[in-house]
Structures are given as C-alpha cells and as structure tokens.
C-alpha cells in the first residue's frame, strides 16, 4: 500500500456555524483512516466552538498558536501554545479564543458528525 501524505494547505477549509475554520488533515473523507482522525481548527478572538460532546470519540486538542479558555464538564482553565488537552468521551466541552487561535484536534475513533451532540438553548 502506498503511503498517505496530505498537505495541510491543500486541504479545503470549511467554516462551522460557530465561526471556527476546520481543515481535515486525515479522516475517513480523505484517507484510508481506521482508528483516528486529525484536523486543524482556528478561531478568531472572542469566538467559541459550540458546546458539545462525543459519545464515542476521545478527543485531544493541541494548541499551536494563540490563547483560549477551555471548558470541560463545567471546569474552565486558560490554555496556551504547547498545551495538550484530553477530552474524554461523554465530556461536554467548549473552547473560547482569547487571542487568534490555531490548534490540532485528534479523535479516536475517527471524527464522525453523527457522534457530535450539542447543548440545547
């Protein structure tokens, strides 16, 4: 099998309804992924992801640039470049950019929109 090598800047970005921009690096939509997925996310200052949880996926965030407030199951703390964040399956979470933010998201099993559940207003 030939190696799968995808370049970040060749992956089409899309903007979610909460204003974050996502580039899928490796997932089931663009590679023969079996057990995990990797994406880059960015948020402008003052924007946040919509609070949500995943029933099956364990998720890691790794901050590359910027600062944010990370909330997991009601506990918030500031995060900065170099911080790695574990988000267990079933944990409600939201990240709010306090400066322009860029981070990596890894999900195992691979990200699947049907495994994302949002808080109701």
Tell me the per-residue pLDDT of 81-110, one tens digit each, with 9 for 90 and over: 999 999 999 999 999 999 999 999 999 999
Q: Which of 36, 32, 34, 42 lies closest to 8, judged by CA?
A: 42
Distance, in Å, from the CA atom of 84 to the CA atom of 101, rounded to the nearest integer, reads 14
**Does the predicted TM-score (pTM) go above 0.75?**
yes
Residue 121's pLDDT band, with cuts at 50, 70 and 90, is low
Tell me the per-residue pLDDT of 45-62, one tens digit each, with 9 for 90 and over: 999 999 999 999 999 999
CA triple 59-16-95, angle to 5 deg = 45
pLDDT value of residue 58: 98
CATH architecture of 14-115: Sandwich (2.60)
Question: What's the token pair of residue 63?
Answer: 């901050």
Q: Would you kindly state where each structural domain of the chain is located, as residue ranges?
A: 14-115
Distances (CA, A) of 37 to 4, 15, 95, 112: 13, 18, 19, 9
């Amino acid at each position: 099998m030939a190696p799968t090598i995808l370049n970040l800047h060749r992956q089409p970005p899309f903007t979610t309804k909460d204003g974050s921009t996502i580039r899928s690096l490796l997932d089931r939509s663009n590679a023969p992924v079996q057990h995990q997925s990797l994406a880059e996310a960015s948020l402008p200052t003052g924007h946040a992801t919509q609070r949500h949880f995943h029933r099956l996926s364990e998720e890691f965030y790794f901050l590359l640039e910027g600062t944010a407030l990370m909330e997991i199951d009601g506990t918030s703390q500031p995060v900065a470049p170099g911080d790695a964040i574990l988000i267990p399956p079933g944990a409600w979470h939201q990240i709010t950019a306090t400066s322009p933010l860029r981070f990596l998201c890894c999900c195992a099993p691979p990200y699947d929109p049907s495994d994302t559940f949002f808080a109701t207003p």
